[in-house]
Structure 1
Amino acid sequence: MTTVTLGIASRDDITRSFAAAMRGEEQGEFISFATPELLLRTLTQLRWDILKKMTGAGAMSIRELARRVDRDVRRVHDDVLALINVGVLERSDNGDIIFPYDAIHVDFTLQAEAA
């Protein structure tokens, strides 16, 4: 099973992870956002529904995805483009869309703000 972790990472975090990967340390599959707000703005409820339907499902057309989430094709297309633009979804050679993971783990911590 291939799991992707959606989380929050600063540029320094990403640099450290890249350096560790270059040393041969396994890093796993990550899709990082700069802030929790950006993650939550990107992964709206409707887009989360798309990811749930695509997790482990393989490549499919936008029309098929729209049928599975019971939504208008044009609106699903807009959400798919937003997810492609941030690197969450991919497009195959034949134009289908892919979410190449069998599971999603979301990881971030909300801390009290400094007074």
Structure 2
Amino acid sequence: MNTLTVRLSTMADVKARFVEAGERALAGKAAEVTSTLNFASYEDMHKVLAPSRLAIVKTLAGQGPLSIREVARRVKRDVQAVHRDVTLLVNTGVIDRTQRGVEFPYDTIHFEFDVSAAA
């Protein structure tokens, strides 16, 4: 199954994973290949993956390229509003734009983060 993992990560976390991957490569160990999308905070993630945009991503999952008009029909929203959301999702790297339409090149999306009580 082809999965995109969404994480909340600090730059230190990202750098540590990068260094670890480099060390594994130098040691001749197989690289762990995972597609990830990192956000600095829950607020940043929610700005990009708000419920209406997440509905677009879920609609595209495993479907191949679709036109924006078809995505709008499937999520039952106005084409212009879907176009704005698709543009943001493309610009942030969540979905891809191809000659045949827009697509989410994954079957699933996995969220990997903890939520703790406010201090």
Structure 2-normalised TM-score? 0.86
Aligned counterparts of 1:81 and 1:58: Cα–Cα separation in 2: 17
Which sections of structure 2, spanning at least 5 residues, go unmatched? 26-30
1:26 aligns with 2:49: no
Shift of 1:87: 1.0
Aligned residues: 113
Query: Which amino acid letter does the alignment assign opposite residue 4 of structure 2?
Result: V
Query: Which amino acid letter does the alignment assign opposite residue 34 of structure 1?
Result: A
Aligned counterparts of 1:112 and 1:45: Cα–Cα separation in 2: 23
Identify the residue that residue 57 of structure 2 maps to in structure 1: 51
Q: Percent identity?
A: 41
Shift of 1:95: 5.5
Identify the residue that residue 108 of structure 1 maps to in structure 2: 113
Which sections of structure 1, spanning at least 5 residues, go unmatched? none
Q: Is the 8 A contact 1:6 1:107 kept in 2?
A: yes
Shift of 1:20: 2.7
Deviations along 1:32-76, one digit per CA (max 9) or x if unpaired, are 111011111221111111011011111111111111111111000
Q: Is the 8 A contact 2:65 2:100 kept in 1?
A: no
Shift of 1:15: 1.3
Q: Is the 8 A contact 1:21 1:27 kept in 2?
A: no
Shift of 1:27: 4.2
Aligned structure 1 segments of 4 or more residues deviating by more than 6 angstroms: none
